[in-house]
Amino acid sequence: MAMVVTEPCFGCKYTDCVVVCPCDCFHEGKSILFIDPDPCIDCEACIPECPVAAIFHEDDVPEKWHDYIELNREMAPLCPQITEKKTPLAS
């Protein structure tokens, strides 16, 4: 199990989520972040940090965003890690 970044993340200008992650799970795509599910320890620290509620536990991802579960798993290893807050992501 792991957290999943979903559609509201597109174009985020804050990246507050990455700073609190103790396992450096976040990776930076072109305009959205991805969580690598393997190192994620389900601590849920990232969930309240996201101002647009883009992060869900894998079991709680809304139906319309289920594709993001696999997308995070596939894309995280292909994108550079991000561990510090940065502004802005390309939108």
Judged by the rule CB under 6 A, the positions of this chain that interact with ligand SF4 are 3, 5, 9, 12, 14-17, 20-23, 25, 33, 35, 40-46, 49-50, 52, 54-55
Cβ proximity of 14 and 33 under 8 Å? no
Query: Which is closer to ligand SF4, CB of 16 or CB of 60?
Result: 16
Q: What minimum distance in Å lies between the beta carbon of 70 and ligand SF4?
A: 17
Q: Say whether 37 sits in a helix, a strand or coil.
A: coil
Q: What minimum distance in Å lies between the beta carbon of 82 and ligand SF4?
A: 9
Instruction: Extract the tokens encoding 40.
Output: 């994620």
Q: What minimum distance in Å lies between the beta carbon of 63 and ligand SF4?
A: 19
Cβ proximity of 16 and 51 under 8 Å? yes
- Going by C-alpha positions, the residue among 23, 1, 28 that lies closest to residue 12 is 28
Query: Which is closer to ligand SF4, CB of 11 or CB of 78?
Result: 11
Instruction: Extract the tokens encoding 22.
Output: 């103790």
